[in-house]
Amino acid sequence: MSNNPEQSIRLFKNNFLESLSHVHPIVPLVLWSPVVLVLLYRSFSIHQLSLLVVLGMGALGLLAWTLMEYLLHRIVFHWQAKSRFGKWFVFMFHGIHHDAPQDKTRLVMPPAPGILIMSLLWLFFSLFIPLPLLEPFLAFFVTGYLIYDYIHYATHHFRMKGKIGSFLRRYHLQHHFSKPDGHFGVSSPLWDIIFRTR
């Protein structure tokens, strides 16, 4: 554990692997914005979906993201692992963030695991949502992820003003410093309220 919450904790002995674990906060926006734009372009131009359908699937995509964010954070990132591998996995994905919560280079998902996770989610959602509707759904799902990433970054590095911003900042920091078994939602407390983990 680091004594300095802003100090980076080394994960890998190999310098190249270590460099891949650090990410500038602009990277998710640069990586995923073109994907969102292409999916929205295809929704209107190729599939000729109406604005109402795109917005409806978009609302579902955003809602699905908030649930995914909650479930990943509560179940996967706070999994009470017993095995050595399990403990390593939890630390790699999230424990390191609790040990060094202000580390500016480890607050957003690195591209390699991000692409892998998003690809698996794409395949998962394609089992339930037909192709023409899948693309606007995923465009907004990815947008939800970007909103989450930047709210999360902001809660650790900016004085968020206004009722919503200050509430989200306080809510997430309580998860770090006083309520580690609750407050799993970062972009919304919705699922904490529903599942009574607030």
| The two structure tokens encoding residue 29 | 């926006």
CA distance 124 to 128: 8
Q: Residue 114 in contact with residue 31, Cβ under 8 Å?
A: yes
CA distance 115 to 180: 28
* Residues 98, 145, 108: CA angle, nearest 5 degrees: 40
Stated pTM of the model: 0.86
Contacts of 183 (CB under 8 A, 6+ apart): 171, 172, 174, 175, 189, 192, 197, 198
The highest-confidence range among 126-130, 148-152, 172-176, by mean pLDDT, is: 126-130
Is residue 1 pLDDT above 70, yes or no?
no
In percent, the amount of the chain with pLDDT more than 70 equals 88
Residue 2's pLDDT band, with cuts at 50, 70 and 90, is: very low
Q: Residue 93 in contact with residue 138, Cβ under 8 Å?
A: no
* pLDDT tens digit sequence for 53-108: 999 999 999 999 999 999 988 888 777 878 887 777 767 666 666 566 667 666 67
Mean pLDDT on 170-190: 85
Return the domain boundaries, the chain: 15-147
Identify residue 104 by its one-letter amino acid code. K
Q: What is the pLDDT of residue 37?
A: 98
| The two structure tokens encoding residue 165 | 């911003």
